[in-house]
Chains A and B, each alone.
Chain A
Amino acid sequence: MRRALVIFVVLVTASCVSFQYQREIVECEPRAAVVEGLLAGTTELEDVLVALGAPIDVWEGANGNPVLAYGGLRSREWNVEVSVPIADSGSASLSYSDTTAKTRGTIFVFDAELHLQIVRSGLLGDLRQTFARRRPASIDDGDDGAKRP
């Protein structure tokens, strides 16, 4: 009797509560031994490309000089999804994700002569904020379409 009740509860909740275990693999982080061999001051852009291949991202650093980013993502997470019917024709969903993974990697910052100046490892999103060129903000048009002075 109790077993039947458990099965019944499982079947009922299946329609509104679900769990998901997911692993995500995106590209590969560069090997630490290779990165350690690329030294600021003596390495050029060509050396980095030969050693590590194509970066996953390239952006404009300070003074318009290139920044190369290498990295990858290895994440494991549990998701819980709750779906509750609120009307005859629809339902409301709530999803909670315990995501701890972000893309980690290494960036290589070059000078105008394409000599390596800085090597930094960490979360690529944070590194990009720190090492991307900041351009002056444009002046938006007003609501009436007229240019601000």
Chain B
Amino acid sequence: MRSLLVATLLAGLLSGCFISRDRANEPLEKSKIDSLAIGTATATDVANELGAPSEVVQLGKRSAWRYDFTTTKMSGFTLIVISFLNTDKRSDRCWLFFDESNVLRHVGTTLDAEDTRYAMPWQDVD
């Protein structure tokens, strides 16, 4: 009788567990970013190598292009009327800064998408 109760309880609890993953855009390839020569590569070269950017920001006569790849991992469970959810969203980002002649002058890259974790809300995630 007790084992049946435990099995029923476990089945009820586990049926409310879930995980999900969402990805936006394609992962950034560091080798492609590194192949862009600062001071000589043009906006056309960048577009040919990396494709269309996610965003273009006009900065006076200069401009900046953003490329990104975002991963979101969600995990949680539901106990009858209460749900516990954890969402972790991180991205690979690359900003490329062009001068008024559309020549690449600066590049900033952060690759954090791999650090996205499934976790419960009370677990430490760095």
Residues of A within 8 A of B (CB): 10-11, 13-14, 17-28, 45-46, 48-49, 52-56, 58-60, 63-66, 76, 112
Give Cα A11–Cα B79 distance, bound, in whole angstroms: 11
Give the residue name and chain of the B residue nearest to A75 (CB).
Answer: B87
**Given the contacts A55-B108, A64-B60, A66-B59, A19 and B83 also touching, CB distance less than 8 Å:** yes
Identify the interface centre among A48, A49, A52: most chain B CB within 10 Å of its CB: A49
Where chain B touches its partner, the secondary structure class is strand
Asked whether, in the complex, the Cβ of B87 is within 8 Å of the Cβ of A53, the reply is: no
Interface residue total, chain B, C-beta cutoff 8 A: 34
Closest 7 CB pairs of A and B: A64-B60, A53-B110, A49-B108, A23-B121, A54-B93, A54-B110, A54-B108
**Given the contacts A17-B81, A28-B112, A45 and B106 also touching, CB distance less than 8 Å:** yes
Give the residue name and chain of the A residue nearest to B73 (CB).
Answer: A25
Asked whether, in the complex, the Cβ of A21 is within 8 Å of the Cβ of B85, the reply is: yes
Identify the interface centre among A52, A54, A58: most chain B CB within 10 Å of its CB: A54
Contact among B59, B60, B83, B112 with A20 in the assembled complex (CB-CB below 8 Å):
B83
Given contacts A27-B112, A64-B58, 19 further A-B contacts (CB under 8 A): A10-B81, A14-B80, A19-B83, A20-B82, A25-B86, A25-B90, A27-B90, A48-B108, A54-B108, A54-B109, A54-B110, A55-B93, A58-B95, A59-B57, A60-B58, A63-B60, A64-B62, A65-B59, A66-B64
Asked whether, in the complex, the Cβ of B81 is within 8 Å of the Cβ of A56, the reply is: no
**Given the contacts A53-B108, A66-B97, A22 and B81 also touching, CB distance less than 8 Å:** no
Residues of B within 8 A of A (CB): 57-62, 64, 66, 76, 80-91, 93-95, 97, 106-110, 112, 121-122, 125
Contact among A20, A26, A56 with B85 in the assembled complex (CB-CB below 8 Å):
A20
Give Cα A146–Cα B57 distance, bound, in whole angstroms: 32
Asked whether, in the complex, the Cβ of A60 is within 8 Å of the Cβ of B57, the reply is: yes
Give Cα A14–Cα B78 distance, bound, in whole angstroms: 11
Which residues of chain B have C-beta atoms less than 8 A from A13's C-beta? 81
Which residues of chain B have C-beta atoms less than 8 A from A45's C-beta? 97, 106
A5: min CB distance to chain B, Å: 16
What are 14 residue pairs bridging A and B, where the CB atoms are less than 8 Å apart in the complex?
Answer: A13-B81, A18-B82, A20-B84, A23-B87, A25-B88, A27-B90, A27-B91, A28-B112, A49-B95, A54-B110, A56-B93, A58-B95, A59-B57, A65-B59
**Given the contacts A14-B81, A76-B121, A22 and B109 also touching, CB distance less than 8 Å:** no
